[in-house]
């Protein structure tokens, strides 16, 4: 029997990816799972949104982050920026490059899990359950 991530009161999830289609599909999956997606397309914006959420008292339950971006900061740099704000941030590394060092060795780069692309709603749910439940 599969166990799914169960959000509390539509927990917000930050999704960082430079591909609009990935943002759109992941948002729909998160809605289906009962989460509240908040999407952005670059690392600088992700860090700013993460900081604002922390300061407003409505932190993200997790962050799903593409490791390779054509728009500025790479995922590892963005992760370090977020971890500077919140050392306990629940970061999930994502990439279509299944050999990316931060995907295969995600913990060494500050991530709590890895989500290779393409992923299904079941993969997404399992990853979220893992990182949210471990806190």
Instruction: Quote the percentage of the chain above a pLDDT of 70.
Output: 90
pLDDT of res. 80: 96
pLDDT of res. 100: 84
Q: Is 102 exposed, middle or buried (0-12, 13-18, 19+ CB in 10 A)?
A: buried
pLDDT of res. 2: 52
Each residue of 62-121: pLDDT tens digit? 999 999 876 667 888 999 999 999 999 999 999 999 888 888 899 999 999 999 999 999
- From first CA to last CA, the distance across the chain in angstroms is 23
Distance CA 16, CA 70 (A): 12
Domains of the chain and CATH, by start: 12-133 (3.40.50.2300)
**Reported pTM:** 0.91
pLDDT of res. 8: 58
Chain centre to alpha carbon of residue 94: 8
């Amino acid at each position: 029997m599969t166990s799914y991530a169960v959000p509390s009161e539509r927990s917000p999830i930050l999704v960082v990816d430079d591909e609009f289609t990935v943002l759109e599909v992941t948002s729909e999956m998160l809605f289906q799972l009962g989460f509240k997606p908040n999407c952005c397309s670059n690392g600088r914006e992700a860090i700013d949104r993460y900081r604002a959420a922390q300061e407003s008292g409505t932190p993200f339950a997790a962050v799903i982050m593409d490791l390779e971006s054509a728009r500025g900061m790479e995922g590892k740099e963005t992760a370090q920026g977020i971890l500077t704000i919140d050392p306990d941030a629940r970061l999930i590394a994502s990439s279509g490059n299944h050999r990316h060092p931060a995907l295969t060795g995600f913990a060494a780069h500050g991530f709590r899990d890895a989500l290779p692309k393409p992923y299904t709603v079941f993969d997404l749910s399992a990853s979220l359950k893992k990182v949210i439940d471990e806190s």
